[in-house]
Chains A and B, each alone.
Chain A
Amino acid sequence: MTTSPFLPALALLALLASVGSAGAEEGQILPPIDHAATLNECAACHMAYPPQMLPARSWQKIMGNLADHFGEDASLAEPVRADILAYLTAHAADAPGTAQGRPYLRGLDASAVPLRITETPFWQRAHDEVSRSSFTSPSVKSPANCVACHHTATKGEFAEPED
Chain B
Amino acid sequence: MRRLSFAAAAIAALLVSAAALADPARDAILAAFADQAKSADAAFAGFSTDRGRAFWTATHSGGKPDTPSCTTCHGADPKAAGQTRAGQSIAPMAVSVTPDRFTDPEKVAKWFLRNCNSVLGRECTAAEKGDVITYLSSQ
Contact = CB atoms under 8 A, between A and B. Distances in A.
Contacts of A142: 85-87
A145 B64 contact: no
A68 interface: yes
Given A45-B86, A72-B114, 13 more contacts: A43-B88, A45-B84, A46-B88, A71-B85, A72-B64, A72-B67, A75-B113, A75-B114, A141-B83, A141-B85, A142-B85, A144-B86, A144-B87
* Majority SS at the chain A contact face: loop
A133 B84 CA distance: 19
A46 B86 CA distance: 6
B2 to A, nearest CB: 47
B113 to A, nearest CB: 7
B65 interface: yes
Interface residues of B, number: 15
Contacts, number: 49
**How would you classify the secondary structure of chain B's contact residues: helix, strand, loop or mixed?**
loop
B88 A72 contact: no
A72 B118 contact: yes
A141 B66 CA distance: 14
Contacts of B85: 70-72, 141-142
A62 interface: no
A46 B84 contact: yes
Contacts of B66: 71-72
A45 B110 CA distance: 13
B87 A140 contact: yes
Contacts of B114: 72-75
B98 interface: no
A144 B88 CA distance: 9
Interface in A68-103: 68, 70-75
A145 B84 CA distance: 10
A76 to B, nearest CB: 8
